[in-house]
Amino acid sequence: MEIAGAATADDTPYLGVKIMKALAPDYLNLPVPDAPREFWEYLFPLPYRPELVADAQARNLDPNLVAGLIRQESEFNPDAVSPANADGLMQVRPGTGAQLARAAGVQGFTSRMLFQPAVNLKIGTAYFRSMLDKNGGSVEQTLAAYNAGPARLAEWITWNTYREPAEFIESIPFTETRDYVQGVLRNAEMYRRLYP
């Protein structure tokens, strides 16, 4: 725990996540009561909590879901850059940031601002809310679109009439996206347990 503690002490909780994943690679198979709370807090940190909660609530989003999405996207690394050139905590593309900045309350937007947690949270939650609205409030479909893109989701939902969210998740043809949706939902549940 000392190694992870050192990582979080420097305001770099994402390093704590990486270290804990390396030290306990089977942590997902461990029942929550079998490890101390501190163990789970290193694996599921919640930095930027006041801003995250405020921006999520301002957009009528579950803060635990937003935290779960961020953990899956960037592990709370504000400097993260994806292979698709999406930036920051919520992995927002610069073009998306430019489109949504003003509506999200961000003035004088530049793409470098996506590496500022407060800006990324404002724009990222606005983007997620707009996607959720376009998908009729379906969290599972919105998460699939967030990962694989809206065009792919539009194709997938024509394949069948899904009675249950789990049925839709199991039908996702990309393993990465299916695992992503399940991962975000699992993370959100852990955040609900750890930070009620």
Q: What is the rounded average pLDDT of the residues 136-153?
A: 96
Q: Spell out the alpha helix ranges (H) of the chain.
A: 2-9, 13-23, 37-43, 49-58, 63-73, 94-100, 117-134, 139-148, 150-156, 165-171, 175-194
| Mean predicted lDDT score pLDDT of the chain | 93
pLDDT above 90 (res 12) = no
d(CA 28, CA 185): 13
pLDDT above 90 (res 7) = no
pLDDT above 50 (res 1) = no
CATH code for the domain defined by 44-194: 1.10.530.10
- Asked which of 4-18, 42-56, 68-82, 110-124 is least confident by mean pLDDT, the reply is 4-18
State how far Cα 186 lies from the chain centre: 11
pLDDT above 70 (res 5) = no
pLDDT at 162 (0 to 100):
83
Per residue in 50-101, pLDDT tens?
Answer: 999 999 999 999 999 999 999 999 999 999 999 999 999 999 999 999 999 9
Q: What is the rounded average pLDDT of the residues 150-171?
A: 90
pLDDT band at 11 (very low <50, low <70, confident <90, very high): low
pLDDT above 90 (res 123) = yes
pLDDT at 4 (0 to 100):
42
Is 73 in the active site? yes
pLDDT at 196 (0 to 100):
86
| Residue of 73, 140, 155, 189 marked catalytic | 73
Per residue in 55-68, pLDDT tens?
Answer: 999 999 999 999 99
d(CA 195, CA 192): 6
Q: Give the domain ranges of the chain.
A: 1-43, 44-194
pLDDT band at 150 (very low <50, low <70, confident <90, very high): very high
